[in-house]
Each structure stands twice: as structure tokens, then as C-alpha cells.
Amino acid sequence: MARVAIVTGGTRGIGEAICQRLKRQGHTVVANFGGDEEKAKIFTNETGIPAYKWDVGDHQACLDGCERVEAEHGPIDIVINNAGITRDGTLHKMSFDDWNDVMRVNLGGCFNMAKATFPGMRERSWGRIVNIGSINGQAGQYGQVNYAAAKSGIHGFTKALAQEGAKFGVTVNAIAPGYIDTDMVAAVPEPVLQKIVAKIPVGRLGHAEEIARGVAFLTSDNGGFVTGSTMSINGGQHMY
């Protein structure tokens, strides 16, 4: 059945692949983005998918943004919390702002978007929320206490909200991607990246579309018995 779906951080990388996949599934898809207006325009021209700018770390902006999306497209039944940032550094060099920005956007964004959409899903007795975590939230990662904590928090958030949504037909799941060939990973220095790829049993980075296929399953009617789970899509790098 066709639904209205929103993908945060949907104009680039993994989010863009998720938008395109959900559109191919027949859904009405809306992307949110944080600041790169030029990329958002190119995305909308290429895909025909509207893009709405707001900061997912801003609680009121999420409430207002989702209200606008619902007024223009209808009730939101599918939410993909994909927006994420990194502010890497070892603890002794990490500022409070580096910590706070990552918690606010990566973990706070999930709460804010759920507050805006979960009540409606409950009322309509159907909903799908997929939160994009990370292998580094499962395994930890040197230089990423902020990111690992936020992503690990996403996995706990997912399991708790899944318990609240189950009796209302709302499933809440997470996907923990391994290293995927997007802008975020392009920012990793080449020698570090080579070492990372050497540790991936399938011998390559993942593709954004491989995460999107997981989202397509979890958001489908066929995925109705899967809730509170974390799907690891990481080429065998970390078996959790």
C-alpha cells in the first residue's frame, strides 16, 4: 500500500538511496535536509522528490516541519531517521560542542521526529520507524566517543519505542550500516580507509542502495512482525 514517507538527511548519500527506493515501492516520499540547499535542489530536480530544510536537532523545527509535510502530502506513516553528522576527535581534544552537536542531531533527531509523528501512527494503527544507527555504535570506535554514544543510544531508543508501538501496529527498528561509500566515508583519510576495508570480510565498502533495501523490507507490510530489531548491514565486519 502506498504511504507517505519522510527520510531525514534524504538528499545525499544513504538517505538519497532510501528516498529513491521508497519512491520505487510506490510511496509518496519527502526528504528533509540540514543546510546544503544546492545539493537539495539537484536532488529534487533529478528525483522529483520534494526536499524540506530544517535541523532535526531542533525539537520545534521537527514539529513544525512534519506539520507542514502532513498538510501538503497527508499523514506520515513511515519515518526514516537517517540524518547524521560526525565531529571526530579523541576525548582529550573533543570539545563540549563536538559532543553536544552529535548527540543533538544523531540521537535527539530521532526523539524529535518520533514526537512529531508517532502519535498519529498510533491513532491510525499503522506506522514504521527505521533509525539509522552504525557499526560504530555497536563496536565503539577510536576518536568517536560522541558518535558511538549517540548511535548506541539509537539502538536503545529503538528497543524502548518498539515496545510502546507494538500493540498499535507501529514497528520501530534500526539498521546498523558498516562502512558505506558516501561523502561521510570520503572524509576518512585514505590510509585509514584502506585499513578499514582490509577488515571487511567481503573486501569492499558497502553501497547506499544496500542499506535502502533493508529499509524497504522493514517498512513493508511484510515486515510487520519485525520490531525492536537491529539489522546489521556491514559486509561481515562486526557480528553483533
Q: How far is the CB of 149 from ligand NDP (least distance, A)?
A: 13
- The contact set with ligand NDP (CB under 6 A) reads 8-9, 11-15, 32-36, 39, 55-57, 82-85, 105, 132, 134-135, 177, 179-180, 182-185
Measured in whole angstroms, how far is the alpha carbon of residue 56 from the centre of its chain?
A: 11
Asked if 206 and 177 touch (Cβ cutoff 8 Å), the reply is yes
The residue among 209, 212, 205 whose CA lies nearest residue 235 is: 205
Q: Which residue type occupies 239?
A: M
Q: Which is nearer to ligand NDP, 133 or 223 (CB)?
A: 133
Q: Which is nearer to ligand NDP, 83 or 126 (CB)?
A: 83
Q: How far is the CB of 96 from ligand NDP (least distance, A)?
A: 18
> Measured between alpha carbons, how far is 36 from 16 in angstroms, rounded to an integer?
13
Residue 210 CB-half CA count within 13 A: 16
Q: How far is the CB of 59 from ligand NDP (least distance, A)?
A: 12
Q: Which is nearer to ligand NDP, 62 or 170 (CB)?
A: 62
Could you list the active site residues? 147
Q: How far is the CB of 64 from ligand NDP (least distance, A)?
A: 13
> Measured between alpha carbons, how far is 128 from 85 in angstroms, rounded to an integer?
23
> Measured between alpha carbons, how far is 115 from 158 in angstroms, rounded to an integer?
13
Q: Which is nearer to ligand NDP, 39 or 59 (CB)?
A: 39
